[in-house]
Structure 1
Amino acid sequence: MYWNGVVERLNLTAKGSWFIHLTGSILLYFSITTTKNISRNEWILLCGMVGFYGWLINIVIFYIFDLLDSGDSSIGGIPDYFMFIVGPVTIAILFLNRYKSPTKLIRVILFSLLSFLMEYILGKLGFLKLKGWKPIYSIPCYLLVFGVALPWTLKLIRKS
């Protein structure tokens, strides 16, 4: 009986969680194996900083403003860790890995659209429950994250 409660608390059977686990695992594999322009120390620091940003955004949007719910909203499970830590960290590392001057704008737009598409799919699969938030609101946020926040974070890491 106890272990049934533990497994239930992991929230592994949340609607649409298969998509998060699949994309998170693929992105994690690519972020580890294709990193050329980011050192291992930068990779580790980016994991910590972007993971912190992701969890902070989770707290603000999902709990303080209560604009979205993910999975079973009463349980914070493994899909939530993939969505708020693994996903943002791996996407940020893949984005920053080849962030060069001539292609900056193209990469910002491409990764913003990719992130929007993943958020939209999660909504359609039923994992994200919208409570006043529309996926279109995320586009300016993604543009800001990819255009300003992530390059600034990498610059900060490389300075120290």
Structure 2
Amino acid sequence: MKTYALPNYFDLNETIILLFWFVLFYFYIKLPKQFPASLTVFILVFGAFSARLGDILFFPYDLYDVMDNPKHCIFDLILYTLIYPLYVYFYCYFYDRFKLSTEFQFLHIICWAILSFIFEWLGSKAGIYTYKGWRPIYSFNIYLLLISWYTLMLYKAKSLHKSAAP
């Protein structure tokens, strides 16, 4: 079993990770529930899976580090299993909540890709991401693909959930 160490020192990046998690969790608790519990769990697990999948696909190229060093620490776990899934949940929440028409769906995806890019850029300034051959502008295209994937996943999951309902 893999163990996650504590960081060598607690600084800005760990503080931001905790703060961001508390803010996301606060809004997750406070907002009215948009999905049935089973669909919510699926969205959260899918968010964690897609975050890890990205790292697995890019791992052989060693293009960036997350947090203070290349080894995993407990804050990597918080980022991948709590923050990323909640971020995907909020994308799905607002996408579903506003029932966007086709022409606005694309705009919604673009806006979330821009928001994701801004969060990553701010994270790099705070030391959450350290690039080694990766440029943040590359991430924008990845975010467009991921967010489109989340949209397709939500559509399919809701369709399956509806057809499985008694």
Question: Partner of 1:149 in structure 2?
Answer: 149
Distance of aligned partners of 1:82 and 1:114 in 2 relative to their CA distance in 1, 3 Å threshold: farther
Q: Structure 2: how far apart are the matches of 1:74 and 1:95?
A: 29
Q: Normalising by structure 2, report the TM-score.
A: 0.80
Question: Are the aligned partners of 2:47 and 2:89 in contact in 1 as well (CA < 8 Å)?
Answer: no
Distance of aligned partners of 1:134 and 1:74 in 2 relative to their CA distance in 1, 3 Å threshold: closer
The one of 65, 70, 91 equivalent to 1:69 is 65
Q: Structure 2: how far apart are the matches of 1:26 and 1:79?
A: 16
1:98 aligns with 2:94: yes
Deviation at 1:133, TM superposition (A): 0.4
Question: Partner of 2:45 in structure 1?
Answer: 48
Deviation at 1:15, TM superposition (A): 5.1
Q: Percent identity?
A: 24
Q: Normalising by structure 1, report the TM-score.
A: 0.82
Question: Are the aligned partners of 2:68 and 2:127 in contact in 1 as well (CA < 8 Å)?
Answer: no
Q: Structure 1: how far apart are the matches of 2:67 and 2:39?
A: 32
SS at match of 1:129: strand
Q: How does 1:74-89 map to 2 (within 5 A)?
A: 74-89=70-85
Q: CA RMSD in A?
A: 2.2
Distance of aligned partners of 1:110 and 1:82 in 2 relative to their CA distance in 1, 3 Å threshold: farther
Distance of aligned partners of 1:105 and 1:36 in 2 relative to their CA distance in 1, 3 Å threshold: farther
